[in-house]
A = this chain, B = another copy of it.
Amino acid sequence: MSVQDRRARERQQRERLIVATARELAEAEGWDAVTTRRLAEAIEYSQPVLYSHFSGKDAIVRAVALEGFTQLAATLRDARHVARSPRPALLALARAYLEFAHTRPALYNAMFTLAELPFAQPDTPAPLHQAFAELRQALAPFAPPRNVDTLAEVVWSALHGLATLSRSHRLRPDHAEQRLALLVRTATTSERRSS
């Protein structure tokens, strides 16, 4: 059985190579540059090899997106943990979110517009749930327990909207900090836990 083990290991490694290469190519030249031919050439295999790992190009994008959610979750966790009190923690998390979207636009795009990954559903992949959980945690001190999820969804929507709209040049570029401050202020003052 050792032969099959080795083969499985090599397959897995090559699969990781495909996903990593797709991500790098997208981050370097945009998703338009990620064609099956270019991707195959970059990993030094022929096109059909891609289809022995993934059902199609969509599935590759989805894999990149999933990887992105793992990274985003880690980024948010780190940001949340540097601050000690709840409000600075939320501010740091929000800032980290927007910076993630801004510095890795291709990856963010895969996560939110290219790939179709169900979220609020039973079969939600773990990384997605985890990223949302970070936001939820950061907001818990500011909402009555029953409403934390709703607040998290709204704040997440706001962050996502800020990220995408500012990316498409639809928000004033020099007011990012004001928007962030306003968002955190409203999210933390309107729904006090004690209410």
Contact = CB atoms under 8 A, between A and B. Distances in A.
Interface of A: 112-113, 116-121, 128, 147, 149-151, 153-154, 156-162, 164-165, 168-173, 175, 178-179, 182-183, 185-187, 189-191
Contact of A190 (B156, B157, B185): B185
A150 B169 contact: no
A186 B139 CA distance: 14
Given A156-B165, A160-B164, 8 more contacts: A119-B170, A120-B171, A120-B172, A153-B162, A157-B160, A159-B161, A185-B190, A189-B190
B170 A182 contact: no
A183 B158 CA distance: 10
B169 A118 contact: yes
* A interface: dominant SS: helix
A154 B179 contact: yes
Nearest to A128: B170
A154 B172 CA distance: 11
